[in-house]
Amino acid sequence: MEKESSKVSGWRTLLNRNFLLVLAIGCLNQFATMVVKTPINQFGVTLGIAVSILGMIATMQVVLKLIARPVWGVVVDRITKKMGMTIALTVQLVAFLIYLFASTQEMFIVGRAIEGISFAVASISLYSTLGVAVDRKVLGTAMGFYTTFPQVVKSIAPVATMAIFNTYGAMYSFLVASACTVCAIILAQFIVFPNEKAHHNGEADAVRADGSHSEGNEPKGLNKVFSVPGFIMLPMTLADGFVMAVLDLVIVIYATSLGFQAAGAFFFSIQALVTAFISIPAGFIQDRFGGKVAVAIAIVARAVGLLLIALNPTSTIFMIAGVLCGFAKAGNNVIMADAMKLQPKKRMGLATSTHLLLVEIGMLFGSLIGGFIVDGAGYTICFIVCAILLCVSLVFYFLLQGKMRQLMKTAEAANVED
C-alpha cells in the first residue's frame, strides 16, 4: 500500500506548476529557435556572406556550445532555477534582437556567436529545472512529455517560419522569435522552489568520482565542472551523437543521389512525428519497468532502420527507416533521465550539462569522420558502421546497469539528507 501511495504521489508531481511552466517555456523556446533557424543562413547570404563562411560560423557555434555547457552547468547549480532560466532566455533574446537590427556581416557573426551560447545555456536550464520539478519516480514520463510537446511545435514551425519569411521578410521572423522569447522570460518569473534559496546559501557537498558524498566540503577536481558519475554514459552518448550527426550529414545527400530526394526529407519528418508519439509511452515504460526495455527497443529499432537503408535503399525503405529511427529519441530521453538520476537534485545543472556535452562530442566526431567513411568506403559501409556502434552501445548499457543503480541510490540518499 505504501509503495502504491508513493507511485501516486510521484505522478501528481507531473501536474505541478513548475513542470507545466517548463513545458510551456520549452514550446515557446522551440518555436522561437525554429523561426530563426530556418531562414538564418539565407539572411546571411543577403548580407553578402559566402556559404563557406556560413559553414565556419556554424562550426564556431558548436565550439562555443561545447565551452558554455560545463561553465553554465556550474553556474546554474549555484543560483535559483528562476534566475538561471531568466538569464539563459535573455541571452537568447539579445541574439535575436541583434539579428533584428543587423545590417553588417560583423553584427550577424556576433549574433550567431551569442545564439550558440544561448542554445547551450537554455537547454541546460530547461532540463535542470525539469529534473527538480518532478519526482524521480516519474522522471522518464516527464522527459517524454517535455520531448513530445516541443517536438510537435518543431514539426509545424518550419512551415510557419517560411510563410512568415516569404511573406514579410527576415525581420518579421526575428521579431516573432523575440516576442516568443519575451513571453518565455515572463513565464520563467513564476518558477518557484520554496526551499531553493536556503539550499544555495548552504555549503555544497563534495561528490567523489564514485558518486559518494562528503558533507560540508566544496566539490573538488573534475567534480567542480562535470558530473563525473555521468561519464558512465559515455559509450551510449558518443554512439548516439555520432549516428545523429552522420544521419544529418548524409541521409538527404544519399537519397538524392539515388533519385529519392523527397524520401530523404520525409525520413526526418516521419522520424520527428514518431518521436512525438512514442516519447511519453517510452517514459512510462521506464518509470514502470526500468530503462532497459525502452532503451533496447529504441536502439535495436534504429540499428535495424540503418541496416535496411544500407542493404536495400529504396524510397519506401527510407520512410520505414524514418519510423524505426523515430524510436531513437525516445530511447535518448530514457538514457538522459538515467543520467540525471546519477546526481542529487542540487547538482542537476552539472548532470544535464555533462550529458549534453558528451552527446555533442559524439556529434563532433560524427561530423568529422562520417564524410570520410562515405568517401572512402561508401554509404553502405557508413550505415553498417553506425548500426554496429549502436549495438555496441546497447551492450555497454546492459553491462553498466549494476554500477548505474549504485550511483543512483547514492544520489537519492543525498536528496533524502537534504
Residue 8 is predicted with a pLDDT of 47
For residue 25, pLDDT over 90 is answered with yes
Does residue 292 or residue 185 have the better pLDDT? 185
Give which of 320, 314, 304 is closest to 384, Cα–Cα. 304
Summarize the confidence of residues 305-310 as an average pLDDT: 93
360 confidence band (pLDDT: 50, 70, 90): confident
Average pLDDT over residues 101-108: 89
Is it the case that residue 170 has pLDDT exceeding 80?
Answer: no
pLDDT at 305 over 80: yes
Lowest mean pLDDT among 102-111, 118-127, 171-180, 247-256: 247-256
Check whether 131 has a pLDDT greater than 70.
Answer: yes
pLDDT band, residue 136 (cuts 50/70/90): confident
Residues 14, 22 contacting (CB under 8 angstroms): no
Q: Which residue, among 324, 309, 321, has the nearest Cα to 383 in the 3D structure?
A: 309
With a cut of 80, say whether residue 323 has pLDDT above it: yes
Q: Closest Cα partner for 227 from 119, 335, 339?
A: 339
Give the residue-averaged pLDDT of 12-28. Answer: 86
By CB atoms closer than 10 A (0-12, 13-18, 19+), residue 210 is: exposed
Question: If you compute the radius of gyration of the chain from its CA atoms, what whole number of angstroms results?
Answer: 21
Other Cβ atoms closer than 10 A to 133: 24
Q: 6-10, 170-174, 387-391: lowest mean pLDDT where?
A: 6-10
- In terms of pLDDT, which residue wins out, 196 or 340? 340
Using CA atoms, how far apart are residues 335 and 338, in angstroms rounded to an integer? 5
Is pLDDT above 60 for 2?
no
Q: Given pLDDT bands bounded at 50, 70 and 90, which one contains residue 62?
A: confident
- Of 279, 232, 241, 261, the C-alpha closest to 390 is 241
Ranges 148-157, 212-221, 277-286, 373-382: which has the least confidence: 212-221
Q: Full-prediction pTM beyond 0.75?
A: yes
Q: pLDDT by residue (tens digit) across 376-393? A: 888 899 999 999 999 999
Candidate ranges 48-52, 147-151, 390-394; pick with highest mean pLDDT: 390-394
The residue type found at 415 is N
| Average pLDDT over every residue of 297-302 | 91
Q: What is the pLDDT, as a whole number, of residue 221?
A: 61
Percent of the chain residues past pLDDT 70, beyond the cut: 88
Q: Is the pLDDT of residue 6 over 70?
A: no
What is the rounded average pLDDT for all residues in the chain? 82
The label of the residue with cell 543525498 reads: 414
Q: Check pLDDT > 60 for residue 351.
A: yes
Residue tagged 541574439 (cell numbers): 95
11-15, 28-32, 128-132 — which is least confidently predicted?
A: 11-15
* Contacts with 176 (C-beta within 8 Å, 6 or more apart), sequence order: 32, 35, 164
Ordered domains of the chain (ranges, CATH): 14-193 (1.20.1250.20), 223-417 (1.20.1250.20)
| Full 3-state SS string of the chain | CHHHHHHHHHHHHHHCHHHHHHHHHHHHHHHHHHHHHCCHHHHHHHCCCCHHHHHHHHHHHHHHHHHHHHHHHHHHCCCCHHHHHHHHHHHHHHHHHHHHHCCCHHHHHHHHHHHHHHHHHHHHHHHHHHHHHCCHHHHHHHHHHHHHHHHHHHHHHHHHHHHHHHHHCHHHHHHHHHHHHHHHHHHHCCCCCCCHHHHHHCCCCEECCCCCEECCCCCCHHHHCCCHHHHHHHHHHHHHHHHHHHHHHHHHHHHHHCCCHHHHHHHHHHHHHHHHHHHHHHHHHHHHHCHHHHHHHHHHHHHHHHHHHHHCCCHHHHHHHHHHHHHHHHHHHHHHHHHHHCCCHHHHHHHHHHHHHHHHHHHHHHHHHHHHHHHHHCHHHHHHHHHHHHHHHHHHHHHCHHHHHHHHHHHHHHHHHC
Position 245, amino acid: A
Does residue 226 or residue 23 have the better pLDDT? 23
For residues 69-82, give the mean pLDDT.
88
Tens digits of residue pLDDT in 248-258: 878 878 888 88
- Predicted pLDDT of residue 380: 92
Question: 179-227, pLDDT tens digit by residue?
Answer: 999 999 999 999 988 776 544 433 444 444 344 444 444 566 677 777 8
